[in-house]
Amino acid sequence: MRVKRGVATHKKHQKIRKATKGYSHPNRVSVKRGKQAVTRSLQHATVDRKNRKRTFRQLWNARINAGARQNNTTYSRLIAGLKQANISLNRKMLAELAVNEPKVFSEVVKAAVKKAK
């Protein structure tokens, strides 16, 4: 007996059409182009998750540097001083302190600079 695959194919096509919601017309209507578009978008999503980490680190470094320069030092001297003083604050927290708690950040900078000298 012959097996007709219409139901399985229709289900597969509906899955692709659901994933391409919001795409441009050819990518939404054509199943073949839709499958290519979904594959490509998943690849971009993977790359962009890595890039997001990179861009946030750049932002944090810029904020730490700005805060350090307001306290008469530089980013590299501050980080070196923190390592020598065994102060283990990650860059995300340092940036948060620099923006929202400048007084606390200046105390951290003083401790780091004192240990560096």
Q: Per-residue pLDDT for the chain (117 aa), expressed as one digit of tens each?
A: 888 889 999 999 999 999 999 999 999 999 999 999 999 999 999 999 999 999 999 999 999 999 999 999 999 999 999 999 999 999 999 999 999 999 999 999 999 988 766
CA distance 32 to 54: 34
Amino acid symbol at 91 = R
CA distance 16 to 33: 10
CA distances in angstroms from 82 to 20, 88, 110, listed in the order given: 49, 7, 10
Q: Which residue has the tokens 């980490």?
A: 53
CA distance 18 to 22: 9
CATH superfamily, domain 9-116, is: Ribosomal protein L20, C-terminal domain (1.10.1900.20)
| Reported pTM | 0.74
